[in-house]
Amino acid sequence: MTTGKRLAGRVALISGGGGEIGGAIARLFATEGAEVAVADLDPDKAEAVARAILDGGGHARAFAVDVADEASAKAAVARSVEVFGKLTTVVNVAATITPDGTVETLSLDQWNKAIAVNLTGAFLMCKAAVPELRRAGGGSIVNIASQFGHVGVPLRSPYCTTKAALIHFTRILAMDHAADNIRANTISPGFILTERSSARSGGKAQARIVNGPRHLLNRPGEPDEIAAGALYLASDESSFVTASDLLIDGGYIAFKGKIGPDGKPALS
């Protein structure tokens, strides 16, 4: 990949930055000149990502955050500004692992936890960050949604609902803060090969076999492919892009079929 300094002078706060997609975004942003606040519920994971950036000559700090907790979200924003002097960019990647079930089997606590982290978490991070972005003269917010914010899967109402709502929340956020020179967009990834997404299939090797053919490109995506989209939305290259959803899904939601053994698209 060619690298430059497309984020020179930016300070980016990435929630869920200790995870696989969040970590890929944090590393790419640092390579492109951003100072990066890597924030995660798991401080060790955040620290490992920040350490790798520092070892590579970039600028990063790790912070613990629970995005579902208003005081914690506020503190992560405040600490980022304290350390780096300003905030220009927020990427909300954090999401909790949501249980499978129907309305009859899911408990209210399970439902509320999904909403609290996946949806309210982005709300709280934006609530704390918007005044800082405005103070910096504007900025970019990127919320990581999902292909399942567009199409559904049985038994996964908590996840699908939070991601669909996140897409719509982000559109309104963009409307409310366009005059502040703040752009807000979502990315909807297809199946991205991570430990979390592969757990349902019993590991990455099996997940590749099961999920690859559901995409027109006949393979799962990689975290770096989502990071490339986040870089575009964070940089000035997307200066006329707001209230938008960027599908990086290998053709997943357009494709009502499966790639056959001959490598060609077929009806499933």
Question: Phi and psi (nearest 5°) for 78?
Answer: -60, -45
Does the protein bind ligand NAD through residue 95 (CB under 6 A)?
yes
Give the binding range for ligand NAD (CB under 6 A) out of 30-38, 90-98, 228-236, 254-262.
90-98
DSSP designation for 96: P
- Which residue in the list 84, 159, 191, 232 is annotated as catalytic? 159
Measured from the CB atom, the residue of 16 and 213 that comes closer to ligand NAD is 16
Residue of 77, 93, 164, 247 interacting with ligand NAD (CB under 6 A): 93
Shortest gap between Cβ of 237 and ligand NAD (angstroms)? Answer: 22
Measured from the CB atom, the residue of 62 and 192 that comes closer to ligand NAD is 192
Mapping DSSP to helix (H, G, I), strand (E, B) and coil, where does residue 97 land?
coil
CA distance linking residue 192 with residue 197, whole number of Å: 7
Residues 176-205 that bind ligand NAD (CB under 6 A): 189, 191-192, 194, 196-197
Shortest gap between Cβ of 174 and ligand NAD (angstroms)? Answer: 19
Residues across the chain: 268
Amino acid sitting at position 50: A
Does the protein bind ligand NAD through residue 229 (CB under 6 A)?
no
Does the protein bind ligand NAD through residue 128 (CB under 6 A)?
no
CA distance linking residue 195 with residue 211, whole number of Å: 14
Residue, CB closest to ligand NAD: 19
Active site residue 252: no
Q: What sign for the dihedral angle of Cα 122, 125, 127, 130?
A: negative
Does the protein bind ligand NAD through residue 16 (CB under 6 A)?
yes
Cβ neighbours for 105, distance < 8 A, ≥ 6 positions apart: none
CA distance linking residue 57 with residue 266, whole number of Å: 47
Cβ neighbours for 199, distance < 8 A, ≥ 6 positions apart: none
Give the binding range for ligand NAD (CB under 6 A) out of 17-25, 55-63, 103-111, 171-179.
17-25
**By rule CB under 6 A, what count of residues binds ligand NAD?**
29
Does the protein bind ligand NAD through residue 120 (CB under 6 A)?
no
The two structure tokens encoding residue 73 = 């979200």
Give the binding range for ligand NAD (CB under 6 A) out of 28-36, 50-58, 91-99, 172-180.
91-99
Amino acid sitting at position 237: E
Residues 32-71 that bind ligand NAD (CB under 6 A): 40-42, 45, 65-68
Cβ neighbours for 182, distance < 8 A, ≥ 6 positions apart: 130, 133, 134, 138, 139, 140, 141, 174
CA distance linking residue 167 with residue 163, whole number of Å: 6
Shortest gap between Cβ of 217 and ligand NAD (angstroms)? Answer: 14
Catalytic residues: 159
Enumerate binding residues for ligand NAD (CB under 6 A). 15-16, 18-22, 40-42, 45, 65-68, 93-96, 117, 121, 144, 146, 189, 191-192, 194, 196-197
